[in-house]
Structure 1
Amino acid sequence: MEIFLLYFLFINIILFILAGYDKYLARKGKRRIPENTLFFLEAIGGTIGLLTAMLLFRHKTSKTSFIVKFTLLFLIQLALIYLYSTSKT
């Protein structure tokens, strides 16, 4: 269980830093981190890191397509957690 928690901590910190760096690149007009990379990291457990970065840096918060995809991935994760937790009983 400890390794599992360390994994989530690590992936969320990495995604938070990447999203912040992407915001920095956007302000400088440089080549950006692909959205698919951000979504992949969200899908493998970085939802909290990405959400925190979005709120703190105001990153991608006005881009509707990004918000929709983020929300869909989040809802899928919630459904999987729910299904996993109910199947254990």
Structure 2
Amino acid sequence: MHDKARATSGGWRVRESTLLGLAALGGSPGALWARQRFRHKTRKQPFATYLDLIAMVHAGLAMGLATLLV
């Protein structure tokens, strides 16, 4: 929401690399939720693709970990 407000007012923006980095550190569920909730960067390419790939890697890691623990 903060970034979108700044975008509409022409203010300083949060870098896409920062947003993707936070998603890669484990914030992909929140990033995906926020993207849909606030309708921000939904059509922005390649950001959307990178975020989707990060989320898929996280899902794969979670499934692999669950398999090892069972």
TM-score range, shorter chain: 0.7 to 0.9
What is the 5 A alignment of 1:27-46? Answer: 27-46=8-27
The equivalent residue for 1:70 is: 51
Aligned length: 70
Q: Which has the higher helix share?
A: 1
The worse-fitting range, judged by mean Cα deviation, of 30-39 and 47-56 is 47-56
| TM superposition outliers: structure 1 runs of 4+ over 6 Å | none
Pair 1:54-2:35 in alignment: yes
Report how far residue 45 of structure 1 moved. 2.0
TM-score (norm: length of structure 1): 0.70
Report how far residue 52 of structure 1 moved. 2.1
Gaps of 5+ in 2: none
Pair 1:79-2:60 in alignment: yes
RMSD across aligned positions (CA): 1.2
Over residues 12-61 of structure 1, what are the superposed CA-to-partner deviations in whole Å (9 max), with x where a residue is unaligned? xxxxxxxx111111111112101111111112222222122211221001
Gaps of 5+ in 1: 1-19
Report how far residue 82 of structure 1 moved. 1.1
TM-score (norm: length of structure 2): 0.87
> Hey, what's the Cα distance between the residues in 2 that align with 1:80 and 1:47?
13
User: Secondary structure of 1:64's partner?
Assistant: coil
